[in-house]
Amino acid sequence: MIAIKKDFANAPSYLNSNWAKEAFDYNNKVHKYEKGDYGHESVRAELIKIYHSKCAYCESNTSAGSYWRVEHYRPKAKYYWLSLSWSNLLLSCEICNSAKSDNFDTTNHPMQYQGESLNNLQNKTSEYDKSEIPHLINPEQETNLSLKTHFHFNIDSGEIVANTDRMDYTIRTCNLNRKPLVQERIKIKNDLENVILGFIYKAYPNLSDILINVLERELEKAIPENEYTAWRKTICQFFLSSIPVL
């Protein structure tokens, strides 16, 4: 998981359109929204752009090997009036979306609909967070620095380790240590190790300088556009700290 920057003040035009407002007025009466109401093409396109086609929770590339979903941070089954709220919509892979489902525990009593208009609900997440104190971590409400307080990786097993109760809840709720994810993290680490070992045999006299150069180039690749950015940064920094001074 990495921090995501979203412009909460400027929602996709559809969410402020007459069509969305009509859907909002109707569906609030029956407390149920359909995929066609919140999964508009403009909404999907903007989320894919913001999230670099990656799942908000596990960082898997949702365009390869897993279908993506327009995910509701606060479940639409419980917070039906936020189904078209821009600050409540994330991009998620199918697996994380299914695992999370309607799970959303809070420390304080959940907020209730107060009759607000759709326009007034487009940016309610931070306000709701202060009142409810949700257990599930939202990458849009974090910074990369704050996320470091929530978790770290076990460099040997490839598993995410929770530093906080909120991260423990997030890991369990979204199943972030499921076998395919852990295997992919270990594969990335092993591939980098093989590159390093190759340089050891080819350029022993300048080992330290060359390995540092290789790892720094790998670290430059640990950007939001790539899968498993947080893990890539972790393993590069681990290898950098392990290089012997010759």
Query: How would you write 91-135 as a 3-class SS string?
Result: EEEHHHHHHHCCCCCECCCCCCCCCCCCHHHCCCHHHHHHHHCEC
- With the CA atoms of 212, 180, 67 and 95 taken in that order, what torsion angle do they form, in degrees rounded to the nearest 10? -120
Question: Looking at 9-13, 36-40, 83-87, which range is the least confident one?
Answer: 36-40
pLDDT tens per residue, range 148-206: 999 999 999 999 999 999 999 999 999 999 999 999 999 999 988 877 766 655 555 55
Of 163, 105, 164, nearest to 135 by C-alpha is: 105
pLDDT tens per residue, range 96-132: 999 999 999 999 999 999 999 999 999 999 999 999 9
pLDDT of residue 200: 59
Structure tokens at 133: 């104190």
Instruction: Specify which residues 68 forms β-bridges with.
Output: 93
Instruction: Specify which residues 61 forms β-bridges with.
Output: 54
Residues in the chain: 246
On whether the CB atoms of residues 184 and 160 are closer than 8 A, the answer is no
Which amino acid, residue 192? L
Mean pLDDT computed over 54-65:
80
On whether the CB atoms of residues 84 and 23 are closer than 8 A, the answer is yes
- CB-based burial, 143-180: b 16+ in 10 Å, e otherwise: eeeebeebbebebeebebebeeebbbbbbebbbbbeee
Task: Give CA–CA dist 12/55, Å, rounded.
Answer: 19
3-state secondary structure the chain: CCCCCCCCCCCCHHHHCHHHHHHHHHHHHHCCCCHHHHCCHHHHHHHHHHCCCECCCCCCECCCCCCEEEEECCCCCCCHHHCCCHHHEEEEEHHHHHHHCCCCCECCCCCCCCCCCCHHHCCCHHHHHHHHCECCCCHHHCCHHHHHHHEEECCCCCCEEECCHHHHHHHHHHCCCCHHHHHHHHHHHHHHHHHHHHHHHHCHHHHHHHHHHHHHHHHHCCCCCCCCHHHHHHHHHHHHHHCCCC
On whether the CB atoms of residues 182 and 210 are closer than 8 A, the answer is no
On whether the CB atoms of residues 123 and 106 are closer than 8 A, the answer is no
Q: State the average pLDDT for the chain.
A: 87
Prediction pTM value:
0.85
pLDDT of residue 246: 42
